[in-house]
Amino acid sequence: MTHLWTHSPVRVGPGRAAGVAACAGALALITGCGGGGAGSAAPLTPRMAISLAADETQRVNSMSSNVVVNVSGIVSATTTGSIQVQLRPKLLADEDLSIVSQGQTLSMTDIVSTKAVYLKSAAFSGLTAPSGKTWLEIPLSDLSGSAGSALSSLLQNVQNGDPLTQTRMLVASKDVRKVGPQVIDGVAVTHYAGTFTPKAAVANLPANLRQQVAPLLTLITGDIRFDAWIDASHQVRKIAEVETVSGETVNLTMTITSLNRPVHIALPAPGQVQVAPKSILGHGSNGSGPSAS
């Protein structure tokens, strides 16, 4: 989610606010996936309901959602948009976003593959316009530090069927409770709420995935508060989170609009792509040539 999957590696305009929102969005996107399954007539405890929703994520091949992220603190911003994710046969994700911050409105489209992030926005025109390109490519291998490595590994795990293990972060909650029945888009759901700590979430994951997720969760301080709306098929219809990311308070709401329906995501044509200079990604030299995707 994080925008898409982590902090924005390019600091332009309201990029810091967008990056904070992105980090929260990525976590919510991964933890919020749900899948269709058979309903159960037996009463469920709140913890069982969350666990069943986590189990159902292994059935998800694609999803679409709408997202609203409000960031407040030193920098304030509101991000709204739509997200499409294809998990199989090959991971691709697409976001169309509108970011309002410091009196400015920024439109941004980003596409994520397992090898690179592609960004299209007027904010990057200084990097793309001189070459006549419209997209800025950031190879994941060019991201400095452990965050880039963790992000690349995390995306690979998502593609390989690990949304299940990601959703186990919600199962780390010790105080999840049932709020009550509600209706979302005409569908009857049950509203649950609770909290969990980043430390507990990491501890609840398998060792291999723990190493990949931990660097992202270190950006979050304090408890993560969540609300989840789950239907009778154990499918998450909506999820909301409140967390503190890099000192900013982030309120995120994601509404799932479709699951396992075709999504249409295409990588930019090579002739429309400018590779981001390594100098703005924490390196000393410029990149050359697009990465394989």
The pLDDT-based confidence of 148 (bands split at 50, 70, 90) is low
Is 114 inside a domain boundary? yes
Is 292 inside a domain boundary? no
Predicted pLDDT at 56: 84
Q: In terms of residue numbers, what domain contains 109?
A: 15-277
Is 188 inside a domain boundary? yes
CATH number at residue 144: 2.50.20.20
Write the CB contacts of 241 (distance below 8 Å, at least 6 apart in sequence). 24, 27, 28, 224, 225, 226, 227, 250, 251, 252
DSSP 204: T
Is 118 inside a domain boundary? yes
Is 215 inside a domain boundary? yes
Predicted pLDDT at 158: 53
Phi, psi of 247 (to 5 degrees): 85, -5
Is 235 inside a domain boundary? yes
Which amino acid appears at position 12 of this protein?
V
Q: What is the mean pLDDT of the chain?
A: 76
Predicted pLDDT at 13: 43
What is the rounded average pLDDT of the residues 283-288?
44
Question: Is the pLDDT higher at 168 or at 9?
Answer: 168
Is 115 inside a domain boundary? yes
Count how many domains the chain has. 1
Is 290 inside a domain boundary? no
Task: Examine the pLDDT at 18 and tell me if it is beyond 80.
Answer: no
Distance CA 244, CA 233 (A): 32
Nearest Cα residue to 16 out of 85, 68, 110, 79: 79
pLDDT tens for each residue of 21-55: 444 444 444 444 444 444 445 678 999 999 898 88
CB-CB contact of 83 with 20 (8 Å): no
pLDDT tens for each residue of 135-144: 999 888 777 6
